[in-house]
Structure 1
Amino acid sequence: MSDYPLPQRFPAPETRNPVILPDGTPHAPTVFLQAVIDHPNIAVGRYAYYSPHTPEPDPAAVLAPYLYPGAPERLVIGPFAQIAHGVVFITASANHPMGGITTYPFRIFDMPTAQKYRDENAAIGDTVIGPDVWLGFEARVMAGVTIGAGAIVAAGAVVSRDVPPYAIVAGNPARLLRMRFAPDQVARLLELAWWDWPVAAIRAALPALEAGDVAALAQFRP
């Protein structure tokens, strides 16, 4: 494991701009999502961050442009998720009706008659991003997908199917490149669930986390 000193600073999860540049100024685009998203259909875990190229006044509208308040689906972003510039979640309410001859959404122009559309979208389900998931530059996550803990989604990938925990996926449609850990290690990591630990314990365990040493990580479990 690394001999580098542990970080002395770790901001609170409600901090808006958690990254401080060497000149002492905050990096304005990078935000902890808990501090900037107030949307009834989006649930955000602690320390999940979004890092676009420029500051976004309304990150919820950029990340999930089709998810309106009161929609029949939710976007769930787990703790310690890392979301790069250009990532978009295409949630279920982006869908057009597909059960008939036409996909033209006639009923959206008279919303009280659109319950059929809402029912179809509700059946697709929530989009769920697990803990410690890294979503690369301009990745697209389609409606109803679940991405497991610790997965990595490559830049430009289009994720249309569920991704297992600790998988690396790339391409359009996204395909599995490899697993980050052996099956027994993945099971142990999910059982340890370090993302739920107190922050002090996570900081102490950082050398094991950085080294990929599952056995050593277990020793830090509070």
Structure 2
Amino acid sequence: MTIGPDPKAIYPNPSIKEVVYIKNVITRPNILVGDYTYYDDPDHPEEFEQHVTHHYEFLGDKLIIGKFCAIAKGIEFIMNGANHVQKGATTYPFNILANGWEKFTPQLTDLPLKGDTVVGNDVWFGQNVTVLPGVTIGDGAIIGANSLVAKDVPAYAIVGGNPASVIKMRFPLAIRTALSAFAWWNQDINWISTHISELTVERLTLNKINDWQRSSKHA
């Protein structure tokens, strides 16, 4: 029998209505979220999409978030629609104010588009984090509260500040490499449930990751 919350539920714990599984409340086709990733906000967590701003389908950019991410309140993913043309004397967006100015709508090739915003698996966001367009955040990263993420974040890095910079790496390189290769978030949910204490409490070693590989159905 499978144990753990239903990944198709909006509220994984029905007694805590401020936590929702994001995948089950999004409606936009240009937002893709993995199983078990949640948003925690006492004010309408079901409206996660309101925290993804300037996101227009005609631009083609996507917000992609992996599995088992923990996202605290106040998150804002600013997408490429926030960018203005920068080649000329002014960045003022005349076209969006219409009344005859709409004929000066810039071509997509004139906009400084940054591409998709990609968040890996098992990423923890503190409160009031802002992520700028086109950023990639690696697996297992921790984003400190009140950070502005303006550039890519390596896997298993702890970052913070405005703009966010690396404070330290969570593990030595050998362990980071082994964790990335094992990808615990892709294991069978019963395997994950059985190993929760090891995943969360025990000191991590290469031997432990090797043990996981041997015990996993996906090894």
Q: Same fold (TM over 0.5)?
A: yes
Question: For residues 161 and 120 of structure 1, do their structure 2 counterparts lie closer, same or farther at Cα, with a shift above 3 Å needed?
Answer: farther
- Given that residues 41 and 71 in structure 1 are in contact (C-alpha distance below 8 angstroms), is that contact kept between their aligned partners in structure 2? no
- Give the alignment's Cα RMSD to 1 decimal: 2.0
Give the Cα separation in 1 of the matches to 2:4 and 2:45: 23
Give the Cα separation in 1 of the matches to 2:75 and 2:162: 14
Question: For residues 120 and 35 of structure 1, do their structure 2 counterparts lie closer, same or farther at Cα, with a shift above 3 Å needed?
Answer: farther
Q: Deviations over 1:159-191 (max 9, x none)?
A: 101000000001101111100000111000000
Task: Tell me the amino acid that sits aligned with residue 211 of structure 2.
Answer: Q
- Given that residues 124 and 142 in structure 2 are in contact (C-alpha distance below 8 angstroms), is that contact kept between their aligned partners in structure 1? yes
Deviates more, 1:95-104 or 1:68-77: 68-77
Deviation at 1:204, TM superposition (A): 1.6
Structure 1: stretches of 5+ with no match in the other structure: 1-7, 21-25
In the other structure, the counterpart of 2:164 is 174
In the other structure, the counterpart of 2:73 is 85
Q: Give the TM-score normalised by structure 2.
A: 0.87
The alignment partner of 1:107 has SS state of helix
Q: Aligned residues: percent identity?
A: 36
In the other structure, the counterpart of 2:131 is 141
Q: Deviations over 1:17-69 (max 9, x none)?
A: 1124xxxxx211210011101211101011110001222452212x2021133
Give the Cα separation in 1 of the matches to 2:106 and 2:63: 20
Question: For residues 114 and 181 of structure 1, do their structure 2 counterparts lie closer, same or farther at Cα, with a shift above 3 Å needed?
Answer: same
Give the Cα separation in 2 of the matches to 1:130 and 1:69: 22
Q: Deviations over 1:116-166 (max 9, x none)?
A: 2x3355741111111000011001111110000000000001010100000
Give the Cα separation in 2 of the matches to 1:177 and 1:35: 33
In the other structure, the counterpart of 1:107 is 95
Give the Cα separation in 2 of the matches to 1:57 and 1:207: 30
The alignment partner of 1:50 has SS state of strand
Provide the aligned length of Structure 1 versus Structure 2: 208
In the other structure, the counterpart of 2:185 is 195
2:208 maps to 1:216: yes
Deviation at 1:12, TM superposition (A): 1.7
Question: For residues 60 and 112 of structure 1, do their structure 2 counterparts lie closer, same or farther at Cα, with a shift above 3 Å needed?
Answer: farther
In the other structure, the counterpart of 1:48 is 37
The alignment partner of 1:178 has SS state of strand
Q: Deviations over 1:85-115 (max 9, x none)?
A: 0010111111111121111112333768645
- Given that residues 83 and 112 in structure 2 are in contact (C-alpha distance below 8 angstroms), is that contact kept between their aligned partners in structure 1? no
